[in-house]
Amino acid sequence: MTADLTSTQATPASTAPGDIFATTHWTVVLAAGRRHSPQSDGALEELCRTYWFPLYAYVRRRGHPKEDAEDLVQAFFAKLLEKNFLANLNAEKGKFRAFLLAALKHFLANEWDRSQTQKRGGGETLLSLDWQTADTQFQVAATNEPSPDQAFDREWALALLAKVIGRLQSECETDGHGKQFAELKIFLTAGKGAQSHADAARILGLEETAVRVAVHRLRKRYRVLLRAEISQTLADEALVDEEMRALFGAFST
């Protein structure tokens, strides 16, 4: 998947209509500190549900087989979601992505004892994760990443983009433009030349000018949602541009 990066200095997320990102998830988690609350715990769980696969990809790239990787990630989440686990870890300059990877490395280095591995299915499952497709997804992705850290960053970026595309699709379907979105989303996720405005217009039964306007609006809303999603994983919105550069840089490795 390739993101459209034109004019990423778009309208800040806080100005988006019907803004649902008034308080970012990672800000909620950090604000809780040792005083965990249902709100911060829920925010952390939601972030983990969205970005668990990059952790799995990292563990696999470290050489762990499929079954061990599944156990390690579940055990890591069990530890991460304990009430005081966040208290003694650095927030990695306010970036949830960096924090999560640092926490996983700490866990793998210091807190995993293979002799204590429970029989699969015997431990508590805190998050319901799609292990059935995880290995297939990893095999497809593993052909390009030369290091575990780069694999993590690339899968993180892909997960983020997929979530943004999903939000945009839901908005379009709610507005009765689901068919149009299905045809035009390629202008968001593929490189130039993958589809022509003329071809899209013919398929949708619209004038080419109307399609160009629709694509422009989609890209504008896409950039707003993209910045909003990234801001949810940061403690300071001033870091959004820096994080965007880092994430999209993962596609060039």
- The whole-chain average pLDDT of the chain stands at 77
Cα dihedral 192→195→200→202 (10° resolution):
130
Residues 79-103 have pLDDT tens digits of 887 766 666 556 666 888 988 898 8
Q: Tens digit of pLDDT for each residue in 212-244?
A: 999 999 999 999 999 999 999 998 888 999 999
Q: Locate 159 and state its tokens.
A: 């997960």
pLDDT at 120: 43
> Can you give the pTM of this predicted structure?
0.74
Confidence class for position 137, pLDDT limits 50, 70, 90: low
Given a contact cutoff of 8 angstroms between Cβ atoms, the answer to whether 155 and 97 are in contact is: no
Alpha carbon distance, N-terminus to C-terminus of the chain: 14
Report whether pLDDT(42) > 70. yes
Q: What is the pLDDT of residue 167?
A: 94
Burial of 1 (C-beta count, 10 Å sphere; 0-12/13-18/19+) = exposed
Ramachandran area for residue 7 (φ above 0: left; ψ -120 to 50: alpha; else beta):
left
How many other C-beta atoms can be found within 10 angstroms of the C-beta atom of residue 55? 25
The sign of the dihedral angle between the CA atoms of 72, 75, 81, 87 is negative
What is the phi/psi pair of residue 234, to 5°?
-125, 150
Q: What is the pLDDT of residues 9-35, one digit of tens each?
A: 333 333 343 334 446 688 888 776 655
Phi first, then psi, for residue 125 (nearest 5°) are -100, 110
Residue at token pair 């309208």? 11
Residue type, 95: K
CA distance 87 to 110: 17
User: What pLDDT, in 10s, does the model give residues 139-168?
Assistant: 545 555 568 998 899 899 999 999 999 999
